[in-house]
Structure 1
Amino acid sequence: MRSSFRLFRVALIGLAAVGLSGCGLFSQTDARFDPAPLTDYAPSLAVSARWSTSIGSGGDYGFSPELVGDTVYAATPSGAVAALDATSGALRWRVNAGPLSAGVGSDGRIVAVATQSGGVVAYDAQGQELWRAQAASAIKVPPAVGNGIVAVRTTDYRIQAFDAASGKLRWNVQRPGPALALRTSIRMLSVPNLLIAGMPNGRLMVIDAASGAVRWEASVSTSRGASDLERITDVVGAPVIAGPLLCGVSYQGRTTCFDVSQGGRPVWAQDVSSATGMNTDGQHLYLADAHDRVRALDLRDGHELWQQAALLNRHLGAPVPSGAVVAVGDYEGYVHFLSRTDGALMARLHVGGGALVSPLVPTPRGVIVQTGGGQLILVGIGG
């Protein structure tokens, strides 16, 4: 099965009666896909944990910290929803929303999470509950908050927007989807007047935030293969915006950038896929490919600037640029720091808590890490 080893690190959501137990997917072993051992190298950068705060327990792909100004918001599957001072890690408030399936989304005024029963819960900036609403089905992607709405993506390939003040359903958009979809790091993006979402069918959608009208839609990649498993081509991570360019990357697919100022005209595409997404510094795209090679692509035309293969099969998250480095977390709780210039290994720090599946959050002081154990940690760079 093409790329089947990658599914050790991502879960499948079955939306049809598909039997997986007989294919040996989760029992096969192949030494070619073993995680690379940690490489000896001469550290050239000082990194350290500046602060660490426990906010709850557990971790999952649907949980992503959100930095707004000097406040970081986060949630855990145990039900904790918290706001912390991003400089000191001091807890500003924490509430219990009940068992959660995804979170957190915030614009600094509204903080939203999703419950395991498909509910949406919104809080104000002081942690006071504002409203609860019910989505059409389960939610495994963090809510996107902005433009006066709280938007969620449900497991039946529906995007629903709730009024940020009242919780009333404002609009609903649904697309047909494949039999199987990934459970991995996926996020929607709220920008002025628009909501941007990657979908399990390899497509990007740009939606009018006020009305729910789909303004633009295009394919990052198309499905290939004979089986439902081989045809999975979900857009993963968060869509990337840089000037007029809107870029997406898909699993078992490719990386594609479009010029939205020219009606979504494709600018370039490269056959580089990912299971966790990518980030940009405005000039380059950074991602971990299907074998966990960390790659830097030129944003203008997609040509590769460098790749780092020392972290092969270490189940990496999406690399994030921060200052002069690119930071990326792995399955053992290590955060690795690579040179933005050439990808050279510069430092690493073990933060614990098991696999780092929540996206790293860059700050002016370093990167914020949410561990699988419910810790938020600011890893300082330099100094």
Structure 2
Amino acid sequence: MDVCRRWQPDPPFGGSNNTVVFSTHGGTTFALDAATGALRWQRVTGPSATAPLLDAARGHVVVAATDGRLTALRLSDGAQVWQHVSEAPILTTPALSRDGTLIFAGNEAIDAFAVNATTGALVWKTRLYGQSLTDRYPVVVGDAVIYRSQPLYSLWQLLSEGGATMNQAGAVNTDWAADWAAVGPRITAYLNANPHKQTFFVLDAAIGAVRGTAPVLYTFGDNEIPSPPVVRAGATDTVYLIYRARQGI
């Protein structure tokens, strides 16, 4: 079972505060009193491998299921508000857009998608590359949303091709910025020529359109899905990412 990834106990939502919500592989979502552990409600939402998402503004909790259902429940009593049925298992933890109007998720057809946070209606769907979106979550950055996928190709093949691509820039420059100025365009060109080898996708949050090719090579062990970025919000958002550069990470 996964504990709710994001929750806020105060102010109360629908007359119910200090609540912890989690879903189980068995298919039930539970809401407990955070102070006492007493059961407040439980609902069958389908087997889940992700953490629920709290939509604090509406007093909803959104649960993704491995049978493809994305369900919004009322936090106060667990009543179903809406349900969106995807065409493949959902193994990504949902995320809320910055303005709170959209909920982002992804399924095992490798579709990134967004639904209306109030109604659950599908707003957009975009096919990505890779073989899985499991274990991660969309990362919202301003008016964009970032997804990561498990590659279709082996780690060693991608490491070898990535290294060869970077080495085409010539000798390693000891100044990192200067070296990147030479290497970055070559990475972008390699991924543009081999789009099915991308694992990092930046989409327009409102319409799902891909915002070009990010020059990010695959860097991870055992062909796992790469870590999602961390965002430092500010006047200009900063994205921090485990990154493969020449001669190291």
Decide: shared fold, TM above 0.5. Answer: yes
| 3-state SS, counterpart of residue 155 of structure 1 | coil
**2: distance between equivalents of 1:111 and 1:140?**
17
Structure 2 partner of 1:155: 108
- Aligned-residue offset at 1:189: 2.5
Structure 2 partner of 1:245: 238
Structure 2 partner of 1:145: 96
Listed as ranges, the matches of 1:270-349 within 5 Å are 271=248
Residues 81, 94 of structure 1: 8 Å contact kept: yes
Which of these residues, 122, 132, 139, is aligned with residue 189 of structure 1? 139
Residues 150, 163 of structure 1: 8 Å contact kept: yes
Higher helix proportion: 2
Task: Sort the Cα spacing of 1:64 and 1:207 in 2 relative to 1 into closer, same or farther, 3 A.
Answer: farther
Cα RMSD, aligned residues only:
3.2
Which of these residues, 26, 47, 58, is aligned with residue 99 of structure 1? 47
Q: Does 1:66 align with 2:5?
A: yes
**1: distance between equivalents of 2:213 and 2:225?**
15
Task: Sort the Cα spacing of 1:79 and 1:223 in 2 relative to 1 into closer, same or farther, 3 A.
Answer: same
**2: distance between equivalents of 1:117 and 1:100?**
8
**2: distance between equivalents of 1:128 and 1:271?**
51
**1: distance between equivalents of 2:43 and 2:246?**
44
| 3-state SS, counterpart of residue 221 of structure 1 | coil
Give the unaligned 5+ runs of structure 2: 10-18, 152-197
Give the partner amino acid of 1:117. Answer: D
Give the partner amino acid of 2:80. Answer: E
Task: Sort the Cα spacing of 1:64 and 1:271 in 2 relative to 1 into closer, same or farther, 3 A.
Answer: farther
Residues 77, 99 of structure 1: 8 Å contact kept: yes
- Aligned-residue offset at 1:64: 5.0
When the two structures are superposed, what TM-score results if normalisation uses the length of structure 1?
0.42
**2: distance between equivalents of 1:128 and 1:191?**
31
Residues 203, 219 of structure 1: 8 Å contact kept: no
- Aligned-residue offset at 1:241: 0.8
**2: distance between equivalents of 1:124 and 1:191?**
27
| 3-state SS, counterpart of residue 196 of structure 1 | strand
Structure 2 partner of 1:235: 226
Residues 137, 147 of structure 2: 8 Å contact kept: yes
**2: distance between equivalents of 1:154 and 1:106?**
19
Residues 132, 149 of structure 2: 8 Å contact kept: no
Instruction: Report 1 or 2 for greater relative contact order, CA contacts < 8 Å, sequence distance ≥ 6.
Output: 1
User: How many residue pairs get matched?
Assistant: 186
**1: distance between equivalents of 2:240 and 2:32?**
31
Residues 68, 87 of structure 2: 8 Å contact kept: yes
| 3-state SS, counterpart of residue 100 of structure 1 | coil
Q: Does 1:256 align with 2:237?
A: no
Identity across matched positions, percent: 26
